[in-house]
């Protein structure tokens, strides 16, 4: 039997990169997946790939920081799917820049998507999780939330906040059989890292004991563990997947 047989997973930021990899990994292990992305094109593309694996999929295009939209989406998801077993808060953006030059808009955009979005989706499904006395919440943070990074004060703040949020949710909901954990990816080969210069990538590799950037599938495998029966007794933790960069 597959590890996530007949479970329903909601994955935000599922249109590409890490979110897409998680959605496909979950589908390969028997889950039906709600694919949430900012654009209909991206969410539909991933949903199509999930269906190609023989699982059901739903595609939703929305801004995860829009409270009314998230509430409406959660209600529709629960009506259409009947339940939700796993929530992966992965949607994220960057608006890098030195602090002295960072605009209010760039600060707000990153905090709203990366942190508020996770709050809104978690809140929207909490009542359902509590009622069924089960649920897995997986928040995709970053090693930048653990160590900071010059030029990414907004991103670091959002990911550090997500870790604190995860631990608080774990304490609030643990007695109801609900787990909440965070993943802290290192530098993963996605659209975000594709923009890095060759020189910067070379410097990064010098800081990574495994001497390579990670792949989205590396994060998907870690997410699968946290969603699986094997992680029944794991909650409030930050699982760092970074090739040994932070230790």
**What is the CATH number for 35?**
3.40.50.720
Q: Is 76 domain-assigned?
A: yes
Q: What is the pTM of this model?
A: 0.96
Average pLDDT, the chain: 96
> What pLDDT, on a 0 to 100 scale, did the predictor assign at position 211?
95
> What pLDDT, on a 0 to 100 scale, did the predictor assign at position 191?
78
Burial class (CB within 10 angstroms; exposed 0-12, middle 13-18, buried 19+) of 47: buried
Please give the backbone phi and psi of residue 157, each rounded to the nearest 5 degrees, phi first.
-65, -40
* Cα–Cα distances in angstroms (integers) from residue 184 to residues 135, 143, 152, 246, in the given order: 20, 5, 16, 10
Largest CA distance in the chain: 54
Are the beta carbons of 183 and 171 closer than 8 angstroms?
no
Q: Which residues contact 246 (CB under 8 A, 6 or more apart)?
A: 143, 146, 147, 184, 186, 240
C-alpha–C-alpha distance, residues 128 and 77, integer Å? 11
Please give the backbone phi and psi of residue 60, each rounded to the nearest 5 degrees, phi first.
-130, 130
Structurally, how many domains does the chain consist of? 1
pLDDT tens, residue by residue, 101-148: 999 999 999 999 999 999 999 999 999 999 999 999 999 999 999 999
Q: Is 52 domain-assigned?
A: yes
> What pLDDT, on a 0 to 100 scale, did the predictor assign at position 229?
97
C-alpha–C-alpha distance, residues 221 and 26, integer Å? 9
Q: Is 158 domain-assigned?
A: yes
C-alpha–C-alpha distance, residues 242 and 231, integer Å? 20
> What pLDDT, on a 0 to 100 scale, did the predictor assign at position 196?
77
> What pLDDT, on a 0 to 100 scale, did the predictor assign at position 240?
98
Among 26, 58, 155, 165, which one carries the catalytic annotation? 155
Among residues 117, 89, 91, 95, which one has the least CA distance to residue 107? 95
Q: Is 190 domain-assigned?
A: yes
Please give the residue range of the domain that contains residue 109.
8-238
C-alpha–C-alpha distance, residues 162 and 117, integer Å? 10
Q: Specify whether 155 is catalytic.
A: yes
Q: Is 246 domain-assigned?
A: no
Q: Which residues of the chain have pLDDT under 50?
A: none
> What pLDDT, on a 0 to 100 scale, did the predictor assign at position 39?
97
Q: Is 243 domain-assigned?
A: no
Q: Is 152 domain-assigned?
A: yes
- CA 127 vs. chain centroid, Å, equals 20
Question: What are the structure tokens assigned to 209, written together?
Answer: 């004991």
Q: Is 16 domain-assigned?
A: yes
Question: What are the structure tokens assigned to 29, written together?
Answer: 């292990």
> What pLDDT, on a 0 to 100 scale, did the predictor assign at position 190?
85
C-alpha–C-alpha distance, residues 78 and 1, integer Å? 25
Quick one: which H or E segment has residue 69? helix 67-81
CB-side neighbour CA atoms (13 Å) of 14: 32
> What pLDDT, on a 0 to 100 scale, did the predictor assign at position 219?
98
DSSP 197: -
């Amino acid at each position: 039997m597959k590890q996530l047989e007949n479970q329903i997973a909601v994955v935000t930021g599922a249109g590409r990169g890490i979110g897409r990899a998680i959605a496909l990994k979950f589908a390969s292990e028997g889950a039906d997946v709600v694919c949430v992305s900012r654009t209909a094109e991206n969410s539909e593309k991933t949903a199509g790939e999930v269906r190609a694996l023989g699982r059901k999929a739903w595609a939703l295009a929305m801004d995860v920081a829009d409270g009314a939209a998230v509430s409406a989406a959660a209600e529709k998801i629960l009506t259409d799917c009947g339940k939700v077993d796993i929530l992966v808060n992965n949607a994220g953006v960057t608006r890098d820049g030195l602090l002295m030059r960072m605009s209010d808009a760039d600060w707000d955009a990153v905090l709203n998507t990366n942190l508020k979005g996770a709050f809104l989706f978690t809140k929207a499904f909490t009542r359902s999780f509590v009622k069924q006395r089960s649920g897995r919440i997986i928040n995709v943070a970053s090693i930048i939330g653990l160590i900071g990074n010059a030029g990414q004060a907004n991103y670091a703040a959002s990911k550090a906040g997500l870790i604190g949020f995860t631990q608080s949710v774990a304490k609030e909901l643990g007695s109801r059989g609900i787990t909440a954990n965070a993943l802290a990816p290192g530098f993963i080969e996605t659209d975000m890292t594709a923009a890095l210069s060759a020189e910067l990538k070379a410097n990064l590799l010098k800081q990574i004991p495994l001497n390579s950037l990670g792949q989205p599938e590396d994060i998907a495998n870690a997410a699968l563990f946290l969603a699986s029966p094997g992680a029944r007794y794991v909650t409030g933790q930050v699982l760092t997947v970074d090739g040994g960069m932070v230790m």
